[in-house]
Amino acid sequence: MQTLFALNCDKELTFENAKKTYWKSIERSYHLLLFNLFVLTEITQVALEDGKKRKSKHLPSDIDKIFTPKLFNNELIQSLANSISLNKEYDRLGFTNSVDTDLFKKMYKAFSKKEEYGNYLKDENGSHIDILLELYRFCRSNEIFTEIMEDGFVNWSDDKSLVIGALKKCLKSLPSEDKDFYKSHYPDAETVKEYGEALLINTNNDDESLLELIKPLLKNWDHDRLAVIDMILIKMAIIEMLSFETIPTKVTLNEYVEVSKMYSTPKSKDFINGILDKILKDLTEDGKIVKKGRGLVE
């Protein structure tokens, strides 16, 4: 969507350069995942310093007495911390010295006050994956984390949901004996090329015919004055319904309505839903919607 929007706004941008931009955006999303893993590891590592401070107290609390730095020493985080190739990637991408370590300490300190962390420390069999997911949830609502992400990555707001899902999947796959385990979380080549790039190419190539299909449904609307994002989303949805036989039409409709909520005007979701619903009915009646598998045509 962002690539098609750029093509619409920048008349000097060629389609070939737009495709290159698309592939670069995939790479940036992957870098975001790696950076989130880096941040998570750095925050948990503060537990080592926390443990030393607690041990040196003259009047330790009950929590101080039972404290262990297992937030960092567990096998999941150790898979991240001990991966030589992953740490080389951090260095190559400039992550290692990009964030003031005091910020990690502040985030850890805030998280250490949460009841969930206290319960984790008290429970000898406390779930490492559960506490790490809780830590990541905490980070996403933390002002310091948000500032780090927004200042360092212009694509954070666009790719956030994808990165969150990928990070959860990565953590749940740990521990791993494969030191290059993180590479398996690079966006699937089939999805990137056979879906993403194909959707981009077909939507761009069929722009005029798509507009002619949409125009009759825009009663009392001047299509030139419609939000650019709305038109792009409608065109992409039509291409998805026509070109991708294994994607249920209901999934397509819901997907683009949800995207409109994030990127367009408050009324766009109803407008887009109404237009796509009419177009789907027309295309279905004309026999142009072909889906493989039971229940794929709604």
> Does any domain span residue 27?
yes
User: Taking a C-beta distance cutoff of 8 angstroms, is the pair 257, 273 a contact?
Assistant: yes
37 and 161 housed in the same domain: yes
34 and 167 housed in the same domain: yes
Q: Which residue has the tokens 């949805």?
A: 237
Angstrom CA distances, 6 to 17, 198, 263, stand at 11, 17, 14
Domain's final residue, options 185, 202, 237: 185
In one letter, which amino acid is 32?
L
Q: Has residue 167 got a pLDDT over 70?
A: yes
In one letter, which amino acid is 103?
L
162 and 32 housed in the same domain: yes
> Does any domain span residue 1?
no
Mean pLDDT of 154-164: 89
Q: Has residue 222 got a pLDDT over 60?
A: no
Q: Which residue has the tokens 């941040």?
A: 39
| DSSP-derived secondary structure letter, 153 | -
Domain's final residue, options 136, 161, 185: 185
> Does any domain span residue 207?
yes
23 and 55 housed in the same domain: yes
Q: Strand, helix or coil at 291?
A: coil
What's the pLDDT tens digit per position in 233-256? 999 999 999 999 889 999 999 999
Find, among 278, 243, 283, 275, the residue nearest to 256 by Cα: 275
Q: Has residue 297 got a pLDDT over 60?
A: no
> Does any domain span residue 298?
no
Instruction: Considering only residues 225 and 134, tell me which one the structure prediction assigns the higher pLDDT.
Output: 134
Mean pLDDT is lowest, of 93-107, 208-222, 227-241, for 208-222
What's the pLDDT tens digit per position in 24-77? 888 999 999 999 999 999 999 999 999 999 999 999 999 989 999 999 999 999
254 and 134 housed in the same domain: no
> Which helix H or strand E contains 110, and what residues bound it?
helix 101-112
pLDDT at position 68:
95
Contacts (Cβ under 8 Å, ≥6 apart) of 112 = 50
Proportion of the chain above pLDDT 70, given as a percent: 96
Considering its fold, how many domains does the chain have in total?
Answer: 2
pLDDT at position 185:
86
152 and 247 housed in the same domain: no
Confidence of residue 259 (pLDDT cuts 50, 70, 90): confident
> Does any domain span residue 297?
no
What's the pLDDT tens digit per position in 99-117? 999 999 999 999 999 999 9
Confidence of residue 132 (pLDDT cuts 50, 70, 90): very high
> Residue 18: phi, psi to the nearest 5?
-65, -40
> Does any domain span residue 16?
yes
> Does any domain span residue 5?
no
> Which helix H or strand E contains 215, and what residues bound it?
none
- CA distance linking residue 26 with residue 159, whole number of Å: 10
241 and 103 housed in the same domain: no
3-state secondary structure 181-207: HHHHHCCCHHHHHHHHHHHHHHHHHCH
Read off the CATH number of the domain in which 206 is found. Answer: 1.10.940.10
pLDDT at position 296:
53
Cβ count within 10 A of residue 195: 16
66 and 156 housed in the same domain: yes
Confidence of residue 176 (pLDDT cuts 50, 70, 90): confident
The tokens for 127 are 């779930």
What percent of the chain is helix, strand and coil (3-state, nearest 5)? Answer: 75, 0, 25
157 and 29 housed in the same domain: yes
Mean pLDDT of 281-286: 91
> Does any domain span residue 291?
no
88 and 200 housed in the same domain: no
Measured in Å, how far apart are the chain's first and last C-alpha atoms?
A: 25
40 and 177 housed in the same domain: yes
pLDDT at position 25:
86
97 and 209 housed in the same domain: no
Q: Has residue 294 got a pLDDT over 60?
A: no
Domain's final residue, options 185, 207, 235: 185
Q: Domain range holding 26? A: 12-185
pLDDT at position 223:
59
pLDDT at position 85:
95
